[in-house]
Amino acid sequence: MKKYGVNELRQMFLDFFESKGHLVMNSFSLIPQNDKSLLLINAGMAPLKPYFTGAEIPPRTRVATCQKCIRTGDIENVGKTARHGTFFEMLGNFSFGDYFKHEAIAWSWEFLTKVVGLDENRLYPSIYEEDEEAFEIWNKEVGIPAERIFRFGKEDNFWEHGAGPCGPCSEIYYDRGEKYGCGEPGCTVGCECDRYMEVWNNVFTQFENDGEGHYETLKQKNIDTGMGLERLAVVVQDVDSIFDVDTICALRNKVCEIAGKTYGEDHEADVSIRLITDHIRSATFLISDGVMPTNEGRGYVLRRLIRRAARHGRLLGIQGQFLEALSCQVIEGSKDGYPELEEKKDFILKVLNNEENQFNKTIDQGLKILSDMEAEMKAEGKTVLSGSDAFKLYDTYGFPMDLTKEILEEKGYSIDEAGFQKEMEAQRKRARESREVTNYMGAEATVYDEIDPSITSEFTGYNKLTDTSKVTVLTTEKEIVTSLVEGQAGTIFTEKTPFYATMGGQEGDTGVIYTENGKFKVEDTIKLRGGKYGHVGTMVSGMISAGEEVTLEVCAQGRFDTCKNHSATHLLQKALKTVLGSHVEQKGSLVTPTRLRFDFAHFQAMTAEEIGKVEELVNKEIQAGLEVKTQIMGIEEAKKTGAMALFGEKYGEEVRVVSMGDFSVELCGGTHVANTGAITLFKIVSEAGVAAGVRRIEALTGNNVIEYYKNIENQLHEIAHTLKTTPAEIEDKISHLQKEVKELHSENESLKAKMAQDSLGNVMDQVVEVKGIKVLAAAVDGVDMNGLRDLGDQLKEKLGEGVVVLASGNDGKVNLLAMATQGAMDQGAHAGNLVKAAAQIVGGGGGGRPNMAQAGGKKPENIPQAIEKIPELVANQLK
Ligand SMILES: [Zn+2]
Ligand SMILES: [Zn+2]
């Protein structure tokens, strides 16, 4: 049998299935796409899931791939044995409702025996014990004797993952010979030892599990096969383990060469050699797919792999950086199947070096601290490292918690993980709080102070928005660094930049800085001492390093809107001087993409007429399409042009003069439109006082004015909608409504009068005579005190002479009113005393003058009682 290499076997497999009508697809990225259930691709079928579930239509119903995979579930065992690894390649042929068991079994056999040339007498298929269909195919079609076909139960030969598609599988084992066997009497296919190695697994997805153990036969049956490429190579090359197959062996030898060790001499050293060999493969492939070392998710996996490898390098006695040379070997060994490794080589090496360097700075110190901690634990008889110590190693020395845990476990210690997480959370909280209270510029001040003062930046952005330049300095929020990586916030300095930095009231530009391998989002641009332009923001992907050539791209829309607003402030200043007088002087300004603010000296609020005139004047100059010219000239010459300058502002020898036609001339370093016509529109939205003698105008230009009017228009439509009319008819509608309200009001008044009149008619029947005085006591419903008084006056008039008492219940309250005419008073009647006595009955109090009095109460249910009592009370008053 020919001992094919890993790269040959990969190609043979893909070619074979291409000849069987399969579409050969490139390996998918290790980063799952649209699949949040998975951190990293861990099987050949994982990226094809949407085709299996029917969520997406496959490009062909037969597909074959060689997929790069990473599994970190067994990471603790990597190195300790020769069986485990985190990185592997998986060969697979897939059928999406196309061929099924017959073809899948036949082709797997054909490939292993005819193409690769494995000895058929050493191959043993296994099936799920109830899968007679598969048995028949192996037995009758392929011709394997029944006793060579092994039947296994559900755990081994039924592929199932909770509810969903599932089915039996059929594996193919290869007998590697007695030398790999355990020698136990029962050693055969399925034994745990290394003799019978599973090389192929056919999964027949034919059922749908409803989650309660009921299996329905699927309409679309799928084939999902998997074969570890490295494992196949172990069999084909007849070597001990995956660490001995051609490409991986070359890498392993490279590790030995750098460490000055021989593989197989010392167990401890072998553990480290295997671990480094495996981890550098995973790390190299992860970086090529765009994963960056960070403290979370995939990034953490990568960081842990790199730092574990770096630490095991130390255990082997390697000093300094060594991962780059190994990564080069990985690329050399795998570029045939994965050309992206070669294309991204520079980037991969840079990321690796950066991460290794960062860790190298502290690793020795960290290991020393950790061994001190161990000694202390030993002395105190403790076996658990405190969360705060583990956190210190993480925070100060860059030891991922899992790394500390591993190092300790080697010596029988453990770690207080809950305590560590608590410290982590506390740090996150501190970071959040400090962000809230620390002044942005203040926080940055220290790191910027460390930058070489001779470094400066040239601004090239007056006439262009994109430029290329070299990175001079990079900083995080805390320190100067050689590289910024994904997720990091920081500042980038370049030799040249088209980004305008916040100055003279104009806000700094935003945009992006990028290379082929990294992208930085610029959130602000600031100017520092010595003419340095700092681009402040965050790395959104990849890495950018000092010395690299980068492309700087200003957000064009933001810049253009800012220019409109800035040019408009110049027109505004001149218009204010024209309308209000020459005392108007700029006191401050702010120009952003969305608005402009202009503060100026003036002693009273502007009238609506003045505001209107200023707007009109500015808009007239916008429509005139004045050319905006900038000139650099000596300060004296500039003054002769009549340029408006800020009082008290220091200007250099050379100044920039911005003029707009003959209308405005100002000293200004800002960015402007080329022609005032570009501003399109100008609108003042507010004018107010901000300090004694200082007014502030806020205004909009261009699309922001349109947006402003759009909002007003929307409001108008909403009002019209509420009024059930159209905007054009709102005025008519409102005057109509006003008229209607007026009419209703007067109608209401006359109804009220009529109601009172009606109740009047009825109550006149209730007049009684007490000792010759007419007494009218009556209850009326729901009338307030004013109503009672009106009613009382009318009744009194009707009565001629006498006493009137009215009571009304209203929402659980009682209003009482009593009136007495002069004639009644002459005979002793007293309205005040009368109402006082009646109020007691309805649970209240009150009183008043003899002729008129009112009172309140809380018991409306007692009103009839009170009314009944009135004649008696009056009788008692009369002489
Ligand atoms: Zn065995
Ligand atoms: Zn200006």
pLDDT tens string 386-438:
999 999 888 888 888 888 988 888 888 999 999 999 988 888 777 666 544 33
Average pLDDT over every residue of 687-697: 90
Cα four-point dihedral sign 75, 79, 80, 85: positive
- How far apart are the CA of 543 and the centre of ligand 1, in A? 49
By the 8 A CB rule, do 529 and 493 touch? no
Alpha-carbon distance of 788 to 807, in angstroms, equals: 8
Q: What is the model's pLDDT at position 481? A: 87
Token pair, residue 167, equals 């089915």
- How far apart are the CA of 120 and the centre of ligand 1, in A? 20
For helices 345-380 and 297-315, angle between their N-to-C axes, nearest 10 degrees:
70
Alpha-carbon distance of 182 to 190, in angstroms, equals: 12
- How far apart are the CA of 612 and the centre of ligand 2, in A? 23
Q: Which ligand ends up closest to the CA of 563?
A: 2
- How far apart are the CA of 88 and the centre of ligand 2, in A? 62
Residue 196 identity: Y
Q: What is the model's pLDDT at position 692? A: 82
pLDDT-derived band of residue 1, with 50, 70 and 90 as boundaries? confident
Average pLDDT over every residue of 621-632: 94
- How far apart are the CA of 224 and the centre of ligand 1, in A? 28
Token pair, residue 487, equals 């997720």
- How far apart are the CA of 595 and the centre of ligand 2, in A? 14
- How far apart are the CA of 280 and the centre of ligand 2, in A? 56
Alpha-carbon distance of 785 to 447, in angstroms, equals: 77
pLDDT-derived band of residue 765, with 50, 70 and 90 as boundaries? confident
Average pLDDT over every residue of 516-522: 93
Point out which residues pair with 815 in neighbouring strands.
Answer: 808, 856
pLDDT at 162 over 80: no
By the 8 A CB rule, do 874 and 775 touch? yes
SS3 830: coil
Q: Picking from 513-522, 607-616, 842-851, which range would have the lowest pLDDT averaged per residue?
A: 842-851
The C-alpha torsion from 31 through 34 and 37 to 39, rounded to 10°, is 10
pLDDT-derived band of residue 651, with 50, 70 and 90 as boundaries? low
Point out which residues pair with 127 in neighbouring strands.
Answer: 151
Higher pLDDT, residue 785 or 124: 124
Residue 464 identity: K
Alpha-carbon distance of 626 to 303, in angstroms, equals: 58
Q: What is the model's pLDDT at position 118? A: 95
Residue with tokens 């090359």: 237
Residue 664: CB partners within 8 Å, gap ≥ 6? Answer: 570, 571, 573, 574, 621, 644
Residue with tokens 């130390």: 314
pLDDT at 283 over 50: yes
pLDDT-derived band of residue 441, with 50, 70 and 90 as boundaries? very low
Q: Where are the beta strands (DSSP E) in 546-663?
A: 549-554, 586-591, 596-601, 628-634, 654-660
- How far apart are the CA of 557 and the centre of ligand 1, in A? 71
- How far apart are the CA of 4 and the centre of ligand 1, in A? 27
Closest among 74, 48, 73 to 61, alpha carbons compared: 48
Q: What is the model's pLDDT at position 437? A: 36
Q: Which ligand ends up closest to the CA of 505?
A: 2
Helices marked H in 381-414 — which ranges? Answer: 387-397, 401-409
Q: Which ligand ends up closest to the CA of 194?
A: 1
What Rg do the C-alpha atoms of the chain give, in angstroms? 45
Q: Which ligand ends up closest to the CA of 178?
A: 1
- How far apart are the CA of 186 and the centre of ligand 1, in A? 7
Q: Which ligand ends up closest to the CA of 189?
A: 1
Average pLDDT over every residue of 4-26: 96
DSSP string, 468-515: EEEEEEEEESSSEESEEETT-EEEEEESEE-PPPSBTTBPPP-EEEE-
- How far apart are the CA of 156 and the centre of ligand 1, in A? 17
pLDDT at 58 over 50: yes
Alpha-carbon distance of 836 to 824, in angstroms, equals: 18
Token pair, residue 229, equals 């490429």
Average pLDDT over every residue of 555-584: 94
pLDDT at 442 over 60: no
- How far apart are the CA of 442 and the centre of ligand 2, in A? 27
What tens digit of pLDDT does each residue of 786-816 get?
888 888 888 888 888 899 999 988 778 899 9
Alpha-carbon distance of 180 to 183, in angstroms, equals: 9
Across 49-53, 54-58, 599-603, 754-758, the highest mean pLDDT is recorded for: 599-603
What tens digit of pLDDT does each residue of 217-269 get?
888 899 999 999 999 999 999 999 999 999 999 999 999 999 999 999 999 99
- Residues at Cβ < 5 Å from ligand 2 ion: 668, 670
Q: Picking from 179-183, 279-283, 552-556, 567-571, which range would have the lowest pLDDT averaged per residue?
A: 179-183
Q: Which ligand ends up closest to the CA of 630?
A: 2
Q: What is the model's pLDDT at position 750? A: 82
**Degrees (nearest 5) of the Cα angle 187, 189, 195?**
65
- How far apart are the CA of 124 and the centre of ligand 1, in A? 15
Q: What are the strands of the beta sheet with 586-591, ordered from one edge?
A: 586-591, 596-601, 694-701, 682-691
- How far apart are the CA of 509 and the centre of ligand 2, in A? 16
- How far apart are the CA of 196 and the centre of ligand 1, in A? 8
Question: How far from chain centre, in Å, is Cα 65?
Answer: 34
Q: Which ligand ends up closest to the CA of 572?
A: 2
pLDDT-derived band of residue 646, with 50, 70 and 90 as boundaries? low
Q: Which ligand ends up closest to the CA of 186?
A: 1
By the 8 A CB rule, do 780 and 763 touch? yes
Residue 204: CB partners within 8 Å, gap ≥ 6? Answer: 100, 101, 104, 131, 134, 167, 168, 169, 170, 221, 223
Q: What is the model's pLDDT at position 648? A: 56
By the 8 A CB rule, do 291 and 30 touch? yes
pLDDT-derived band of residue 523, with 50, 70 and 90 as boundaries? very high
Q: How many CB atoms lie within 10 A of CB 836?
A: 20
Q: What is the model's pLDDT at position 432? A: 63
pLDDT at 443 over 70: no
Average pLDDT over every residue of 382-389: 90
Average pLDDT over every residue of 166-182: 92
Closest among 511, 343, 439 to 494, alpha carbons compared: 511
Token pair, residue 583, equals 């005392």
Q: Which ligand ends up closest to the CA of 182?
A: 1
SS3 769: strand
Residue 732: CB partners within 8 Å, gap ≥ 6? Answer: 725
pLDDT at 444 over 70: no
Q: Which ligand ends up closest to the CA of 503?
A: 2
Q: What is the model's pLDDT at position 228? A: 94
Q: Which ligand ends up closest to the CA of 193?
A: 1
Alpha-carbon distance of 670 to 573, in angstroms, equals: 15
SS3 293: coil
Q: Where are the beta strands (DSSP E) in 291-417?
A: 384-385, 414-415
Alpha-carbon distance of 723 to 736, in angstroms, equals: 11
Phi–psi pair at 852, nearest 5 degrees: -155, 135
Longest dimension (CA), the chain: 143
Average pLDDT over every residue of 328-335: 96
pTM of the model: 0.64
Residue with tokens 């022609």: 675
How much of the chain exceeds pLDDT 90, in percent?
61
Closest among 823, 822, 809, 824 to 865, alpha carbons compared: 809
What tens digit of pLDDT does each residue of 447-503 get?
787 788 788 899 999 989 999 999 999 998 878 888 898 888 999 999 999 999 998
Residue 762: CB partners within 8 Å, gap ≥ 6? Answer: none
- How far apart are the CA of 275 and the centre of ligand 1, in A? 26
Q: What is the model's pLDDT at position 756? A: 66
Q: Which ligand ends up closest to the CA of 191?
A: 1
Point out which residues pair with 165 in neighbouring strands.
Answer: 208
Question: How far from chain centre, in Å, is Cα 13?
Answer: 43
Alpha-carbon distance of 345 to 285, in angstroms, equals: 11
Residue with tokens 């059930």: 724
Q: Where are the beta strands (DSSP E) in 145-237?
A: 150-152, 158-159, 164-175, 196-209, 215-228
Token pair, residue 735, equals 């005057």
H helix or E strand, kind and range, residue 567: helix 556-580
- The CA–CA distances, whole Å, from 177 to 180, 181, 616 equal 6, 7, 97
Cα four-point dihedral sign 651, 655, 656, 657: positive
Token pair, residue 236, equals 């084909």
Q: Over the chain, what is the mean pLDDT?
A: 90
Alpha-carbon distance of 473 to 493, in angstroms, equals: 5
Average pLDDT over every residue of 580-606: 91
Phi–psi pair at 499, nearest 5 degrees: -80, 125
Alpha-carbon distance of 224 to 160, in angstroms, equals: 13
By the 8 A CB rule, do 666 and 570 touch? yes
By the 8 A CB rule, do 618 and 568 touch? yes
Q: Which ligand ends up closest to the CA of 175?
A: 1
- How far apart are the CA of 596 and the centre of ligand 2, in A? 11
